[in-house]
Amino acid sequence: QSALTQPPSASGSPGQSVTISCTGTSSDVGGYNSVSWYQQHSGKAPKLMIYEVSKRPSGVPDRFSGSKSGNTASLTVSGLQAEDEADYYCSSYAGSNNVVFGGGTKLTVL
Amino acid sequence: QMQLQESGPGLVKPSETLSLTCTVSGDSISSYYWSWIRQPPGKGLEWIGYIYFSGATNYNPSLKSRVTISRDTSKNQFSLKLSSVTAADTAVYYCARGGSAWSLDYWGQGTLVPVSS
């Protein structure tokens, strides 16, 4: 299984929206509605932000939303805030009880 | 309140076995499934494997020959053993709880394990 493909970096100004993509194959992202997104601030553990493609855990602001089209999933952060600056990772079920992560995207709030 | 805490030796020598334990509070490891994930310094996340509420396990194919995940339900702990380590196994190791649809909803703070002689 290969890692999912994410852009290394993304950026936006406060108040703007930014979208991060996560591209896989029909054997992972495209084959299951089991895409998750994690936020990781520097030196901290990852935090679950989105699961099952578009669901938000309790306490995650509705500025964070997820979607999927074909083999590509996306995380959109609307109304960017300084505290959103972090690394973001996608993951997907990849069949045979395996999970694969993306390489991560560093989001910068300008 | 759900909490996970990793513990283990702070340094492992090449060719030896890395051993870590995750202590869970606020939930029983006989429910849900529980995972190990690692992150080499400056790099991305890598899933290592799961142990299910039944005790069954599943591992990343790239690590399968070297990994064992086990549990002690009496202590509410689960453990990771990674054999024949090299410098490439230097990473922050996290334990986490498996949530809906293969997500990981609660994470430990992580522990850095250097592999060095």
Give B83→chain A minimum CA distance, Å: 20
The chain-wide mean pLDDT, for chain B, equals 96
C-alpha distance from residue B68 to each of A45, A57, B58, B79, B98 (Å): 23, 30, 9, 8, 18
pLDDT for B10 equals: 83
Q: What is the pLDDT of residues B57-106, one digit of tens each?
A: 999 999 999 999 999 999 999 999 999 999 999 999 999 999 998 999 99
| A56 and A38 Cβ atoms separated by less than 8 Å | no
Q: What is the pLDDT of residues B2-15, one digit of tens each?
A: 999 999 988 999 99
pLDDT for A2 equals: 81
Q: Which residues of A touch B99 (CB under 8 A)?
A: 48, 51, 57
Q: Which residue has the higher pLDDT, A106 or B1?
A: A106
Contact A103 B109 (CB under 8 A): no
| B38 and B90 Cβ atoms separated by less than 8 Å | no
As a whole number of angstroms, the distance between CA B84 and CA B98 comes to: 27
Q: What is the mean pLDDT of residues A63-84?
A: 98
As a whole number of angstroms, the distance between CA A36 and CA A28 comes to: 12
Q: Position of tokens 């029983």? A: B28
pLDDT for B61 equals: 93
C-alpha distance from residue B33 to each of A85, B79, B84, B109 (Å): 30, 13, 26, 18
CB nearest B102 (choices: A47, A55, A99): A99
Is it the case that residue A1 has pLDDT exceeding 80?
Answer: no
Contact A104 B45 (CB under 8 A): yes
Give A92→chain B minimum CA distance, Å: 7
DSSP string, A15-66: T--EEEEEE--TTTGGG-S-EEEEEE-TTS--EEEEBTTTB--TT--TTEEE
Three-state DSSP at A96 gives coil
